[in-house]
Amino acid sequence: MFGIIRPCRHRLSERLQASWMAHLCGLCLALRDDHGQLARTATNYDGLIISVLVEAQSAKDDASWRRTAGPCPLRGMRTASVAKGEGARLAAAVSLALASVKIRDHVEDRDGVFARRPVAAGARAVTRRWDRKSAGGASAVGFDTAVLLDAASRQGALERALPPGGSVLLVTEPTESATSAAFAHTAVLAGRPGNAEPLAEAGRLFGRLAHLLDAAEDQAEDAASGAWNPLTATGTDRAEAERLCRDAVHGIRLALREVELTDRSLVHTLLAHETERAVERVFGPAAHTATCRTRTAPADGAAAHGSAGNGGAGHGSDPYGSDPYRSAPRQDPGQAPPAGPGAPIPPWVPQGPGFTPPGGRPPHRRNLLAGCAVWALMACTCQLMCCSHDDPFSRERKEGWCARQDVDCGDCGDCCSNCGDCCNCCGDGGCCDGCGCDGCDCGCDC
């Protein structure tokens, strides 16, 4: 999986997470249906933005953009609602063409295993087949992948002809042209011709951003291996590359304001917020971000510690107040224990790992033979890896292995994570530069 748009599940609401996965699975299945099983390896995060854009410009309640997919091991053998239609097919064709370009680039640079002649020969055969398949799939939805392949061919020529000290934007131009054409065609598929121009601009800047971030990420590795890198070849320092990336993010946000969408929540999240996250992953957070994320701290000490007149009772949900040396309240001998599954648990009832919830009984453990049989079944269906499940031996509810890993997603909270004060940090150079966080319904889906 490649791409600069990698939203952390902790930053997406339940609705947006479901929509994101619907487009991701829809892209994978469209690649399989139109181009064969091997083509599913071309599934990427950035390609599904094409599918997202087409659906976001269509009628909001149109169910024709979704279908129920069968069980998949990567979903723990569960069915799911996935994206379908022209948006998913265009995303598949574009993703396949870009994957073909990427493989061809690896072959030409003799990267890793592609330096071996048998592997390189097999990779060239795959790229030729994918070029034909992507052209056929794109023509079915009225898009010509020649613009993508032409951009790839011009890329090599530009790199060879680039004079010393030339502008790095000369190198990113082919990528900008390719993504601009793909973004603009989503307006044609959705029947929104007025959106073509601003989407073309957003696509152009997205292509520039993706190219620059890829170059910045690979610069040290390219220097060690002697590979060509646009930043090194043009003498562009990291400060200038960061400035160009942040300008591109700002330009994408400005272009999105001109796009007429029926549901802009996911589009705004991916193209206005996750692009900035991508820049932060490579260059670190901008100076305003630290300030932005500290604005939610209580400005008045009385709000956090309560008033003196009520003896510190104004602590919100903290039953002990802010004094770390206060003891927990003792159990009232005359008070009955909590009853029912929804009853509140008093602070004197032991809680946490190892304690059974009040009124509940520990699940009956399976014996060794039965547990091993269930473990094998769950492992073969990827339930242990990919989704929450009951432990095959203890029957306790657990998260999948993927969810338990310490994934570095940075500070998952952003300026839109405090829904009572949603996006107050936007503007004045803030996270959205005054865009008002379009799509923020304080659900909080922005």
Using 50 as the pLDDT threshold, list the residues of the chain that sit under it. Answer: 291, 294-334, 406-407, 413-446
The string of pLDDT tens digits covering residues 388-421 is 777 878 878 777 666 555 445 555 544 444 333 3
Q: For 323, which DSSP code? A: -
Query: Residue 424 in contact with residue 304, Cβ under 8 Å?
Result: no
Q: Is 398 helix (H, G, I), strand (E, B) or coil?
A: strand
Does the pTM surpass 0.85? The reply is no
How many Å from the N-terminal Cα to the C-terminal Cα in the chain?
A: 24
Torsion of CA 301, 306, 309, 313, to 10 degrees: -170
Query: Residue 4 in contact with residue 209, Cβ under 8 Å?
Result: yes
Over the Cα atoms of the chain, what is R_g?
Answer: 26
* Inter-CA distances, 65 with 89, 145, 184, 188, Å: 11, 23, 19, 16
Question: What contacts 24+ positions apart, CB below 8 Å, involve 314-321?
Answer: 319/347, 320/347
Q: Give pLDDT, residue 217.
A: 93
* Inter-CA distances, 194 with 53, 147, 257, Å: 14, 21, 13
Structure tokens, 129:
């087949």
Q: Give pLDDT, residue 156.
A: 81
Q: Label each residue of 25-92 as H, E or C.
A: HHHHHHHHHHHCHHHHHHCCCCCHHHHHHHHHHCCCCCHHHEEEEEEEHHHCCEEEEEECCHHHHHHH
Angle 86-109/168-189 helices, nearest 10 degrees? 160
Q: Give pLDDT, residue 152.
A: 83
Angle 117-139/146-161 helices, nearest 10 degrees? 130
Structure tokens, 122:
């097999």
Alpha helices by DSSP H, 140-195: 146-161, 168-189
Query: Residue 55 in contact with residue 87, Cβ under 8 Å?
Result: yes
Q: Give pLDDT, residue 318.
A: 46
Structure tokens, 152:
């790839």
Q: Give pLDDT, residue 397.
A: 76
Main-chain dihedrals φ then ψ at residue 355, nearest 5 degrees: -110, 135
User: Cβ-count burial of 261 within 10 angstroms (0-12 exposed, 13-18 middle, 19+ buried)?
Assistant: buried
d(CA 47, CA 97): 10
Q: Give pLDDT, residue 250.
A: 97
Structure tokens, 425:
């940090």
**H or E element, residue 110:** none
Query: Residue 338 in contact with residue 349, Cβ under 8 Å?
Result: yes
Neighbours of 394 (CB within 10 A): 14
One DSSP character per residue, 202-250 reads: HHHHHHHHHHHHHHHHHHHHHHHHT---HHHHHT--HHHHHHHHHHHHH
Q: Give pLDDT, residue 141.
A: 93
Using the structure block, give the residue that is written with the tokens 């690979």.
218
Question: Quick one: how many helices (H) and strands (E) in the chain?
Answer: 16, 4
d(CA 192, CA 183): 12
Strand partners, 50: none
